[in-house]
A and B are shown apart, each in its own frame.
Chain A
């Protein structure tokens, strides 16, 4: 089963640690706008929503890409970009239903999460465990367990 980064929105405080470590891991610089994960701050309720690549089975970004550089890795199921061929047209960014494409200011290309070869640093460093790197089945089990714990009346 393919693993993706799951977000528990109830736990996210918007501390931006994930963005800092992501940009440092990928670019060697602490610059949140180069991170492959975004935070959408809902302004009225003050809630924060991390947005990152969901590794769609049939990615709309791959259909949109004018250079056909987005392919799915058959083993890990990660959507990989051959960024050296990217012309920076940003069509994939608009096509993404999760707003996961990140425009790389310095190189004029669009990048997205590649799950750090199976060991995402954002998950490792998230101080509140709001991010998890698991597959769907495991996520379901976790959720069931959490619900069961909540409903136990002593």
Chain B
């Protein structure tokens, strides 16, 4: 029996702990959590902010589930240092020894150091505590800086609380890393129709006010009478413990891990938001700070920790969401590509649009708004890295078709591929 310490209590950490339990590991698993909450879903926080769901509904696990799964959860523990050669962890509640360590320290929101960013009324949104600070502050006019997934969902949630919202984005269209310009224009239109002011190509250079936030300076002017600024400009992997213990970091700032989620240090694994992994489609290093990736990585880390040889397939980014009743989805790489051999196929109407990106005859990205059918089939095609020729071969062979039924609903999109002979 060995001691396993998992630092973290998020998606990756819990996925790892559940895997230990499911496989029937005899090792002693201890989880160290900074927050005093049991495992909750950070993805549902905007719904909590808007009042759509209650606080109890955020919790994925109750406190009693941890002992049932043979995990000892220590809450409110700040880990000061990992003493790797000594096999010990120094925490605010004393030292603990470990035989194997899993780092699932997650990420922290980026808060730029600009004039006024320390005034009362500046917030980030990452934990349940952050949401409750915002709710207690009771914003009446909020500026949200950054229009990624968190920024947009927070804007929608605040608008539902009858707060005036202004979304400021540095790039030329909103959600620039997730959507291309066409789908993003639809999202912007829906947001504006519902009273959210959207400013693109603007950068926040300062926050005005004496003690509290009173206004926001952008590159071209001043937004007056603002009482809240929410920073959603990105997340940064929390790598302090790994770095100080001597684990190598990747170029993008995450903990460098191999496909088995091992760090450069023997018997130290890392998973979740804090690591730098590789893309499923092209193998390039990426930071995938998304929930499904974290859960998969946690599982892989735990399996390899127990001695099973299971490699990670790579991260495939996908985001689904809903804005005022219209659902949107983004799978894979949707940033317009200028490499040779890439093309875009798209169709759109007044309230819907879909678009897929092709590179070297393979679909590498799919984005859609207001479209509901065949999404999982597109995801399947991207995940399988299937070429369009191969797909058409399957479609026209009844025997192959019976074995690949999950792919068939993608036909409605692929029929628009140029040069397609209708069979």
Contact = CB atoms under 8 A, between A and B. Distances in A.
A87 B292 CA distance: 16
Given A44-B423, A51-B406, A94 B321 contact: no
Interface of A: 9, 40, 42-45, 47, 49, 51, 63-64, 66-69, 85, 87-91, 93-99, 101, 103
Contact of B44 (A47, A66, A95): A66
A68 B41 contact: yes
A97 B398 contact: no
Nearest to A85: B57
A91 B320 contact: yes
Interface string B337-379: 0000000000000000000000000000000000010111101
A51 B213 CA distance: 54
Nearest to B412: A43
Contacts of A47: 398, 401
Contacts of B41: 66-68
B230 interface: no
B422 A97 contact: no
Interface residues of B, number: 41
Main secondary structure of the interface of B (DSSP, over half): helix
21 contacts: A66-B43, A67-B41, A67-B43, A85-B60, A88-B322, A89-B321, A89-B322, A90-B327, A91-B292, A93-B376, A94-B318, A94-B375, A94-B379, A95-B318, A96-B406, A97-B376, A97-B380, A98-B405, A98-B406, A99-B376, A101-B376
B127 to A, nearest CB: 16
Contact of B60 (A43, A44, A68): A68
B408 A94 contact: no
B110 interface: no
A95 B379 contact: yes
A49 B405 contact: yes
- Residue of A42, A88, A95, A98 with most partner-chain B CB within 10 A: A95
B409 interface: yes
Contacts of A44: 422-423
Given A87-B44, A91-B318, A42 B411 contact: yes
B292 to A, nearest CB: 5
A94 B329 contact: yes
Nearest to A43: B411
A64 B422 CA distance: 35
B405 A40 contact: yes
